[in-house]
Amino acid sequence: MTTRDETRLAISVTGLRKSFGQTTVLDGIDLTVPEGTIFALLGPNGAGKTTAVQIMSTLISADGGEVRVAGHDVSAEPDAVRAAIGVTGQFSAVDNLLTGEENMLLMADLHHLGRREGRRRVAALLDRFDLTADAAKQAAAYSGGMKRRLDLAMTLVGNPRLIFLDEPTTGLDPRSRRTMWQIIRDLVAGGVTIFLTTQYLEEADHLAGRIAVLDHGAIVAEGSAAELKRRVPGGHVRLHFAGARDLDLAARTVGAAARDDEALTLQVPGDGDARSVRDLLNQLAGASVEVDRLSIHTPDLDDVFLALTGQPPAAPPPGPQRPGRPDATPPEARAQKASSR
């Protein structure tokens, strides 16, 4: 029986462990994801992100720990978990030999929707994802962005409360990525919970309310993007002055700061939060120093990723995918879209 607090969590993970042979992939991780939020799991290749998603979506079993998804234990109640979730992997499960509409109707059939209800839901989703005009085209002719939208629309046929998005914008051009980001925000605004795994830090920065960094099977940091950035040294406030007199007086007042006489700037270490900036300006005002303007510089998530994992983040996604032959996604991947609801 779940408690009242547990029902407010879309995901609760405690002490999750998983090994393959002698290799430990997940080493006792803990995670909580509130309902109606976007949670991002970051990590380099091989960190264990996909394994964690596979366990939470009931695709594979854990070696230890407790995992509850949508209020259900994934080991004891896998069918209830599948009924509540949707999974969109980093490789599209779209069947290139079918049209966009046929892919959607296949999902409706797999969900045992009646003919009328299935067609109604498919039509609504095609319209929502701006695919109606291309619904009769074979999916092989779709661009990468269109395939991603179709893939997510197929996931939504089952009306999931929680969606696992594994590298959702891999291979998309910047415009298609931002379109996908807006779709994700709209889903959350409608009450859906998003669990996002990605190597692209800009994506996590734009979307996620909370972020966890997974490295060598362990959670090495967790917090909001702003909280994680403050953990990395290098943040500073850059003060600009109109003249050398104010610069000299500010340098004597502040003390430890990097001075640039040519640019008439002073770089003061700090994380740039409102209180510290206010205190700094009050200190300068008390010394009759006039600041012309200031700018706040904080480490970005790239700096956080490198500091925590020792590895540079992934490069930005390449350009759009070109239409081509059907992908090599195993047939069971498409069935998983239905069975994992």
Give 10-residue mean pLDDT values along the chain (341 residues).
59 96 95 96 87 94 96 95 87 87 94 93 94 96 90 92 87 82 91 90 89 92 88 84 94 88 90 85 94 86 77 55 37 43 42
Q: Are residues 212 and 293 in the same domain?
A: no
Q: Are residues 92 and 196 in the same domain?
A: yes
CATH code, domain with 258:
3.30.70
Q: Would you say residue 311 lies in a domain? A: no
Residues 292 and 322 in one domain: no
pTM: 0.73
Domain that holds residue 86: 4-229+318-339
Note whether 167 and 266 are same-domain residues.
no
Tell me, what's the pLDDT at 335?
Answer: 43
Task: Please indicate, yes or no, whether residues 168 and 283 belong to a single structural domain of this protein.
Answer: no
What pLDDT sits at residue 47?
86
* Residue 176 domain-assigned (yes or no): yes
* pLDDT given at position 100: 96
Task: Look at residue 305 and tell me if it is in a domain.
Answer: no
Asked if 169 and 256 sit in the same domain, the reply is no
Total number of domains constituting the chain: 2
Do 224 and 245 fall within a single domain? no
Q: Are residues 86 and 158 in the same domain?
A: yes
CATH number at residue 117: 3.40.50.300
182, 115: one domain: yes
92 and 115 in one domain? yes
Please tell me the predicted confidence (pLDDT) of residue 91: 61
> Is 307 inside any structural domain?
no
Residue 151 · residue 1 · CB < 8 Å: no
The pLDDT assigned to 332 comes to: 39
One domain, residues 130 and 246: no
In a domain, 128, yes or no: yes
Does 271 lie in the same domain as 200?
A: no
Q: What is residue 150's predicted lDDT score, i.e. its pLDDT?
A: 93
**Is residue 109 in some structural domain?**
yes
Residue 217 belongs to a domain: yes
